[in-house]
Amino acid sequence: MSIVLNKLKSWEGFLSLILISVILVNSLNSESFLSIDNQVNLFELSIEKIIVALIMVFIILNAEIDLSVASMMGLSACTLGLLVESGIPMIPALGLCLVIGAMGGAFNGYWITVFKLPSLVVTLAMLIGFRGLARVLVEDRSIRVFPSWFESLGQQPILGPIPLSIIIFLGLLILALIILQFTGFGRYVYIIGINQNVALYSGINVSRVKLILFTASGFISALAGILFAARLGAVRGDMGLSFELDIITMVLLGGVSIFGGSGSIYGVILSILIVLYLRNGMSLSNITGHVQTGVIGVLLILSVLIPNLKKMIQDFWNQRLK
């Protein structure tokens, strides 16, 4: 009993409670909420964001941030459109986009590890840089050139009702869980996040870990951009604009500390579900636009406020007891 109680007191427990209430309210509000179609749809509508959120967990755990992810998504989607339009076959074009993603990510990592520049600054610059490049590449138009197999891969289910993008997400989720919980690399990620100097003096190759993470972040973002292009069947320069905010919101709401070192993938899974279900529930109740954005915003503020309040109250009591 006390174990259950302790679990409920943790952040994950708190999120689970919110999640359960969101699911309850949604199911009562709309009969279509629990339908398989709707469940698949609500994941599909945000699949690119939640895929990138998985790698963002690693980056933020490492006490870094990558603001350039959404711009990289746009850049990779636009590059793909442009390459295919200029007659390059689909498969090499896809490969090239992923390489560009990894290189862009490594470029971020290079400035952060070699020149010790803050990731906030470097990736902010690349947020503008990648987006600018995407816009320059396709100019003010949309490109719609993809072969039908590519579009149906992005739009049609391939396993029962489940489309490829959701399978990729689940695969990456399991991979992220394993790496973070059961490998030495995962432990390095946490230790560097807790205290970079300690990690350095313990003989951890901090730069190498960071470089790997940022390269992976670029790669995954490019992959998400490709999936985005397949889902919409057309690309344009503003694809994924300001998605980075939603992605970071999900990770922080999941209890990952913005200062690094603490948080878990489980919490992020819960927060992803909360955000998606809340959005979907509001849409099904015909609440759109600014109200929807506002509710998610309030949720984020609470997610930062509540742990701090809790700590303040605890400290206060502890002092009284002394």
Q: Are 201 and 52 in contact (CB under 8 A)?
A: no
Of 27, 155, 205, 207, the residue at the interface with other proteins (CB under 8 A) is: 155
Cβ burial of 152 (10 Å; 0-12, 13-18, 19+) is middle
Asked whether the beta carbons of 56 and 248 are under 8 A apart, the reply is: yes
Q: Which residues inside 118-147 make contact with other proteins, applying CB under 8 A?
A: 139-142, 144
Rank residues 87 and 140 by Cβ distance to other proteins and give the closer one: 140
Both tokens assigned to 203? 């003989």
The residues in 237-276 that bind other proteins, with binding defined as CB under 8 A, are 237-239, 241-242
What is the distance between the terminal CA atoms of the chain, rounded to a whole angstrom?
29
Nearer to other proteins, 177 or 284 (CB): 284
Q: Candidates 28-36, 58-66, 90-98, 119-127: pick the segment binding other proteins (CB under 8 A).
A: 28-36
Nearer to other proteins, 112 or 248 (CB): 248
- List Cα–Cα distances, 261 to 182, 199, 230, in angstroms: 16, 12, 35
How many angstroms separate the CA atoms of 57 and 55, rounded? 5
Quick one: 262 or 283, whose CB is closer to other proteins? 283
For residue 142, the SS3 value is strand
Position 27 contacts other proteins (CB under 8 A):
no
Of 45, 99, 177, 200, the residue at the interface with other proteins (CB under 8 A) is: 45
- Give the interface with other proteins as residue ranges (CB under 8 A): 30, 32, 35, 37-38, 41, 45, 139-142, 144, 151, 154-155, 231-234, 236-239, 241-242, 279-280, 283-284, 286, 288-290, 293
